């Protein structure tokens, strides 16, 4: 399964798009509102006119780095 990293263009698109993808496809969510979705799931967003863009390489790297190296919590 091929995937792509996306960011939604507005808060309304993010809410509607996340719900649509969560109920109709597999979705991975990372910090800074970066989402990993299957390429074929983009049709769901396009059919509902939900705006998104491809996440930049820097945004994807940053999102992954934050997952792998979380900041220590302060007690």
Q: Quick check: is 15 in a domain?
A: yes
Q: Quick check: is 9 in a domain?
A: yes
CATH number of the domain to which 25 belongs: 3.30.70
How many structural domains does the chain have? 1
As a whole number of angstroms, the distance between CA 63 and CA 31 comes to 5
Q: Quick check: is 69 in a domain?
A: no
Q: pLDDT tens-digit profile of 10-65?
A: 999 999 999 999 999 999 999 889 999 999 999 999 999 999 999 999 999 988 88
What is the domain extent for residue 41?
3-57
Written as one string, the DSSP assignment of the chain is --EEEEEESSHHHHHHHHHHHHHHS--EEEGGGEEEEEGGGHHHHHHTT--EEEPPHHHHHHHHHHHHSPPPPP-
Q: Quick check: is 62 in a domain?
A: no
What are the angstrom distances between the C-alpha of 1 and each of 28, 35, 44? 13, 15, 16
Q: Quick check: is 40 in a domain?
A: yes
Say what the pLDDT of residue 13 is: 97
């Amino acid at each position: 399964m091929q995937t792509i990293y996306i960011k939604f263009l507005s808060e309304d698109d993010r809410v509607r798009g996340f719900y649509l993808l969560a109920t109709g496809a597999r979705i991975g969510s990372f910090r800074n509102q970066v989402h990993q979705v299957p390429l074929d799931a983009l049709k769901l967003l396009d059919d509902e006119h939900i705006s998104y863009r491809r996440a930049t390489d820097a945004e994807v790297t940053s999102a992954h780095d934050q997952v792998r190296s979380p900041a220590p919590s302060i007690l």
